[in-house]
Amino acid sequence: MLVDTYGRVATDLRVSLTDRCNLRCTYCMPEEGLQWLAKPDLLSDDEIVRLVEIAVSRLGVTEVRFTGGEPLLRPGLTGIVERCAALAPAPRLSLTTNGIGLKRTAAALRAAGLHRVNVSLDTLRPDVFKTLTRRDRHRDVLAGLEAASEAGLTPVKINTVLMPGLNDDEAPQMLAWAIDHAYELRFIEQMPLDAQHGWTRDGMITAGDILTSLRTRFTLTPEGDDRRGSAPAERWIVDGGPHRVGVIASVTRPFCRACDRTRLTADGQVRNCLFAREETDLRAALRSDAPDEEIAALWRQAMWGKKAGSGLDDPEFLQPDRPMSAIGG
């Protein structure tokens, strides 16, 4: 198992399939994009499947989420999903995506064995979407969401980041809309993981702000910690139920004590935390023909060194060298 010195066990693997993206969300990337990883540096489809197999068969991983960058840009995605779904024991498979292209791919991904999707959508207003993501693709995301529901990639969850002066007035409308469409909405606090290092604590919308805004229209009752488990979202029952809304307060109410994540970057580096500054190179081991058990041992060692928390509250906090899009969100 992937255990750390604080007794946490990582069972939830995030696999980044690419660092590239077709959007340029302001809280994530600069307008001009980033220096993308070179193709030979990316793990191949075979290498990804081998690492996922090691994780599920030797290390106790039960959940695998594909992310990026934008994972739908990875040409071999459906094949990777299909091969991971056939592993024993079979992991739960999900995908975090901006939704562009999901209209075309949702049914095939479901057929390949994907269970669920999280789609990122920050606004219901096309003009605000264009400002926030620097691309005019709002309609494509809405179409992707619909296709995901129709394909049975449910519950479809929506990730929303609120940015001051742009979409921070939209929380209640977004919740009403999500309930109407049977999407499960979760707000995520903006984190210092943007490539431009533009995040400031004073300039972010906090979980407290989000809840205050939602309460102008809804009655929210805490679902309670016993239902939360290791899930990062604190959930509230909306207007007495059955609908829920989640808030992922990574900055103001971190959930590090219950963290069960392990992360693999698109170039084969294990990270034990989003905010870690160290990585462990599994790609080098893979490419030097290391046996599975040796790779598993490296992975265990990487997780053993996981810190107690993200360090966000430390005045000495240093943002990781890689931005969120290159780590895998």
Side-chain-facing half-sphere of 64: CA atoms under 13 Å: 31
Residue 205 near residue 178, CB atoms below 8 Å: no
Per-residue contact string for residues 143-162; x = within reach of ligand SAM by CB under 6 A: ----------------x-x-
Give the alpha-carbon dihedral of 258, 329, 46, 51, to 10 degrees. -20
Partner touching 159 among ligand SF4, ligand SAM, none, CB below 5 to 8 Å by kind: ligand SAM
Q: Find the shortest distance in angstroms from Cβ 190 to ligand SAM.
A: 4
Distance separating alpha carbons of residues 300 and 2, to the nearest angstrom: 5
Exposure string for 269-283, b = 16+ CB within 10 A, e = fewer: bbbbbbbbeebbebb
Instruction: Pick the closer one to ligand SF4 by CB: 214 or 266.
Output: 266
**Both structure tokens of 114:** 């994907």
Instruction: Report the site for ligand SF4 in 57-116 (rule: CB under 6 A).
Output: 68-70, 98
Interface with ligand SAM, residue 310, by CB under 6 A: no
**How many residues appear in the chain?**
329
Using DSSP, state whether 15 is helix, strand or coil. Answer: strand
Partner touching 307 among ligand SAM, ligand SF4, none, CB below 5 to 8 Å by kind: none
Give the closest residue to 216 by CA, choosing from 186, 257, 172, 254: 172
Q: Find the shortest distance in angstroms from Cβ 277 to ligand SF4.
A: 20
Interface with ligand SF4, residue 175, by CB under 6 A: no
Residue 288 burial by Cβ neighbours in a 10 Å radius (0-12, 13-18, 19+): exposed
Instruction: Report the site for ligand SAM in 188-207 (rule: CB under 6 A).
Output: 188, 190-191, 193-194
Instruction: Pick the closer one to ligand SAM by CB: 91 or 232.
Output: 232
Q: Which of 13, 15, 21, 274 binds ligand SF4 (CB under 6 A)?
A: 21
Instruction: Give, as one character, the DSSP assignment of residue 88.
Output: S
Q: Which of 13, 17, 23, 185 binds ligand SF4 (CB under 6 A)?
A: 23
Contacting positions for ligand SAM (CB under 6 A) = 21, 27-28, 67-68, 70, 96-98, 120, 159, 161, 188, 190-191, 193-194, 324-325, 329
